[in-house]
Structure 1
Amino acid sequence: MKRTETVGTEAGDARVSWYPAKDARLVLALGHGAGGGIEARDLAAIAAELPGHSVTVALVEQPWRVAGRKVAPAPKTLDTGWRGVWPVLAGPGLPVVAGGRSAGARVACRTAAELGAAAVLALAFPLHPPGRPERSRAGELLGGGVPLLVVQGGRDPFGRPGEFPEGPYRLVEVPDADHGFAVPKRSAVTQVEALRAVTGAVAAWTAGL
C-alpha cells in the first residue's frame, strides 16, 4: 500500500511516496527530473514493478515541486533537498540505492559517496546539454565511487549510449527511446516493451547487489 510523507529540509518541504515490498532487502530512492515530477513513465513503472522483487521504492519530490514552482533551482539547492530527505530514506535500516531520472540522477551521483549510498541508478542521465557534447558531465557520472547502472534511451539527445565514456559501471540501452523513454509509433519497439526493458534492467541489477 502506497504511503506518502512530508519531510522538512533546508530547501523546504519535500515529499516521499513509499511503495513498500514484503521482505524488502533494500530501498531504491528515486528523484525526478527538472522538467517533471514523479509521474514520469519510468519512475511510475519502477514503483509498480520493483516491490515484487523485494525492493521498496521511494519516489522523492523535491521541495520546488512540492511548492508548486515550475522551474527547478540550482544543482546546489537540489542536493540540499536530497540530503535533507536521506535520513528518512535510511530510516528502515536497509541499504539505500540512490537514483533518479535526468537531473535527479545527477543529484544521486553527486551525493552518493557522502551519504553512504549502496549504489546509484541513473535513468536518462543528461551527459551533456542537447547539441553540446563538449559540455560533458562524465566526471559527475563517474564520481560516486559506488556500483552504478545507467539506463539510457537510444535516441536521447542529452547523450546517446555510444557517447558515454568507458568506466566501472553498467549501461543498458533502451532501443529507439528518447530522454523520457518514449518510443515513436513507427518503432519496432512498443512503449510497453520499452518500459519493460527499463524495469527488467533495474530488477536484474538490484538482484545482484
Structure 2
Amino acid sequence: MILGDMNFDDVNFDDIAGIAHEPCGDPTGVVLLTHGAGGSRDAPMLVRICDEWAGRGWLAVRYNLPYRRRRPKGPPSGSAAADRAGVAEAVSIARELTDGPVLAGGHSYGGRMTSMVVAGDGADEGVAVDVLTLFSYPLHSPGKPERARTEHLPRIGVPTVFTHGTADPFGSMDELTAAAALVGGPTELVEITGARHDLNSKTLDVPKLAVDAALRMLG
C-alpha cells in the first residue's frame, strides 16, 4: 500500500520548505516540483499542476530550492551546487514515503537543476526518479542560442517530458526538439501554442496536458 495508513499530518516537508497536495485515498506515488529562478513554491502554475496530480491520486509536493529558503526574493547567485543538493534531498524524502513511482521536475531553473541531479556528473550516477517532468526548460538565455545548456542531457536515462511554449524566448520548439533528441531515455514534448516562458494559456489546460504526458511515460 502506498504510504500505508500514514496520516498526512505526520509527513513533514519542512526540511525542503515543501507544501503537499493530498489526494483522496492512498497515493499512487509522489511528484516533486520546484520553481524557476525568480519564483518560489507558490508560483500559480506549480499550484495548478500539483492540484492536477492530487486529483489523479498522487501526493504532489511543491518545494523551495535552498537559495529561496535563504531569502524571499531575487534570483539564484552561485547557489547551483546547493540547489542541486536540495533536489537530491527532496527525492530522498519521497523515496522514504512510497514504494511507488517518484516523479520530479520543475519550472525553468528548477527543472534544469532537477535534470542535472538525475543526469549525474559523469563520475557518479544520478539520483533515481521514474519520470522527469520539465516545464519551460531554459535551453539558453534569451538571444544566446549558441550557449545551449545541453551537456548533461545524454546522461539522462529516464523518461522525460518537456512542456514548452511556442513563444518561449529561452528556446524555440525546433531547438528543444533537437535538445530532447540528446536525452538517453524516451522523451515527449508537450507544445503549448502561443505560450511564453510562464506557460500561461487561455485555450489549453497546461496541467492536464503535462500530467497526461507524464502518466503515458510511466506506461
With structure 1 as the length reference, what TM-score do the two structures score?
0.84
Task: Indicate yes or no: 2:116 matched with 1:110.
Answer: yes
Cα displacement string for residues 103-143 of structure 1 (whole angstroms, at most 9, x for unaligned residues): 11111111125211111001000001100001111233443
Q: Number of aligned residue pairs: give it.
A: 193
Does the CA contact (< 8 Å) of 2:29 and 2:59 recur in 1?
yes
Aligned to 1:50: 53
Structure 1 unaligned residues grouped into runs of 5+: 8-13, 184-189
Identify which of 40, 62, 66 aligns with 2:65.
62
Aligned to 2:104: 98
Task: Indicate yes or no: 2:100 matched with 1:82.
Answer: no
User: 2: CA distance between counterparts of 1:38 and 1:4?
Assistant: 16
CA apart distance, 1:83? 1.8
Give matches, 1:1-209, under 5 Å.
5-7=13-15, 14-21=16-23, 22-69=25-72, 70-73=74-77, 74-93=79-98, 94-113=100-119, 114-164=126-176, 165=178, 167=181, 168-183=186-201, 190=202, 193-194=203-204, 196=205, 198-208=206-216, 209=218
Identity score, percent:
27
With structure 2 as the length reference, what TM-score do the two structures score?
0.80
Equivalent residue letter for 2:197: H
User: 2: CA distance between counterparts of 1:44 and 1:142?
Assistant: 30
Does the CA contact (< 8 Å) of 1:29 and 1:98 recur in 2?
yes
Does the CA contact (< 8 Å) of 1:122 and 1:150 recur in 2?
yes
User: 1: CA distance between counterparts of 2:117 and 2:13?
Assistant: 22
CA apart distance, 1:84? 2.4
Cα displacement string for residues 140-173 of structure 1 (whole angstroms, at most 9, x for unaligned residues): 3443210000000111000121212152411011
Distance 1:4 1:68, change over 3 A: farther
Distance 1:143 1:42, change over 3 A: farther
Moved more, 139-148 or 96-105: 139-148
Distance 1:34 1:82, change over 3 A: same
Which is strand-richer, 1 or 2?
1
CA apart distance, 1:4? 6.3
